[in-house]
Structure 1
Amino acid sequence: MIILGFESSCDETGVAAVCTERGLLSHALHTQVAMHADFGGVVPELASRDHIRRVLPLAREVLAEAGLTLDDVGAVAYTAGPGLAGALLVGASFAQSLAWARGLPAIPIHHLEGHLLSPLLAQPAPAFPFIALLVSGGHTQLMRVDGVGRYELLGETLDDAAGEAFDKTAKLLGLGYPGGPALAALANHGDASRHSLPRPMLHSGNLDFSFSGLKTAVLTRLKTAREQGGDTPALAADLAAATQDAIVDVLVAKAAQALKRTGLKRIVVAGGVGANLKLRERLALALRPLKAEAFFPPLSLCTDNGAMIAFAAAQRVNAGLFDPKAPQATEHAFSVRPRWDLAEISA
């Protein structure tokens, strides 16, 4: 079965075609980074309008690239949440309208499940069970994954997520949007040892996270430097490096703890922060003594994308968690979930 998937939860419009037997056939993505850069962050109304402009041309592009027509499509999938309500509604309404017009089943997908399963698109792909470190936007979570739809929350952030810590610190340093990649790039020119920043909850004894205090520590150092006339490009680079080190240290330590507690030997890292090269390097070093392996989605699929949504839908169909022939699959009444706990879809 060919599944056409749509992602529109925030500031990327993604469309992809996935075959339940052959995997990913084609995908296309439009990012709104340039549009939102002038505002220093995502403007929900602008995001929704841009999704409307992009979704149909991207769908046509994906079908053409895969050599498909709508007659070949057997089901439609879309991100139903979590995310920005208006943005979610664009993808959901387009997908449901297309499904209704063609008499196809429509599959609502949890955005984080898409990220969670996206490393299965890489080669080699991890086998179940594994630990998943989800570091996407406002989410930082450690999950035990025993199979498709079988997820157990082990720990999560109590306040700011890792991605938010990157973005908020980048804003303090006067960097552009999106802040995470800009801070990581600046960190390459800094010396992290010049600033000792906190590692929140590093020794908490559990697998939860907290990153809000990190931003406050950077703000305090900036204020002091400005009062003393030491606010220089070198200071910004050093603080960027120190911030990145602090975030990565906590993520790696908690990931290693999760592996030790569960006895598992595989961990997948998914979400935008998963593209951070420092995180990949440190995690690889930490896993050696544990004789464990790390798996990542392809770099092009770390951010939000349609491939992960169509692929998650295919996995749910293959696992028997969604029956395309069930009457409710073609009812086409729908809603979106701006807030949606991943545990709610766990079998």
Structure 2
Amino acid sequence: MKRKVIVALLVSLLIIGFCFTFSCQKKSAQSKIIVAMATDVGGLGDKSFNDGSYNGLLKAKEQFGVEVKVVESKQATDYVPNLSNFAKENAKIVFAVGFLMQDAMMEAAKNNPNTYYAGVDIGVDPATAPSNVLGILFKEQEAGYLAGIVAGLLTSKYSDALPGLNKDNKVGIVLGMDIPPVERYQAGFYAGVKAVNPACEVITIVTNVFNDPAKGKEAALALYEKGCDIVFHIAGLTGNGVFDAAKEKGKYAFGVDVDQNYLNPDVIITSAEKKLTEATFLVVKSVLDGTFQGGTNVTYGLKEGGVGISDFHNFNDKIPQEIKDAIAKAIEDINNGTITVPATRVEAGYQM
């Protein structure tokens, strides 16, 4: 009899323990913080802007255990529904990735005041922005300036450093859509080229699309035909076609937003970067630790470690020391205020 009582007691304890564990697991699952993101029409897989932003969420998932959700926008009319639906799914914060989503993000934020929103490449007006929305901006012009120094010196003074460079003294730019973040890269690149090579001709082609590699390749081929030996793309997924054109013609290209060398190591000399992954990660962290500052903008430049230029990778031994020294000097001058890099074509004196 005594043994039966002990057995019954043990069984009861096991059942209680199981129920408690199941209850805790269920509660944990229900309370897991959701971090969400809506891409622009470029979508995931662009190896650049959208992917760089999304990787910050994945980093937060790895470090903090948040649940990550993402939806890819196919057209502009998707923006508001995509951003709003995440609020219905109880997302703690929703990222709108891309300047073109600015109006949609503001609408979604105003309609869902209990959900935080953050816009990558989207500035907000502190005087009118709701307290649940944050703008994430970058000084792309500073990264573009460093890339311009490299291009300006390689295409002329050091045109013998790499096979495929020529004496035409021309470099090219392929744009996606002509929007402010893209213009900032372009203005900085132009200024960097002219700072070290005033006689260099900088030729731009605008594709008006961020998700069409075929158009990127077509534009780059046209630039190479005009005598450009280096083409800097600021075009998202469209820019991947620039790399294909460079390989086909035995020329060179610069990547954008993230270090893109791995996509085509034989032609991508460097990339003008903005630290998208770190930026979105830090915003998630601010939400979790209660320091999220809505109704404001956070801006990342060289001084903040938010933009820069990538390594030269397999080109490193072929890049003259003078170019590396020029980059280091430009970084120093920008950080101490000796150089203010133009953020628009008007400021740079560039007419396309």
TM-score range, shorter chain: 0.3 to 0.5
TM-score by structure 1 length?
Answer: 0.34
TM-score by structure 2 length?
Answer: 0.34
Structure number with larger C-alpha Rg: 2
Higher relative contact order (CA 8 A, sep 6+): 1
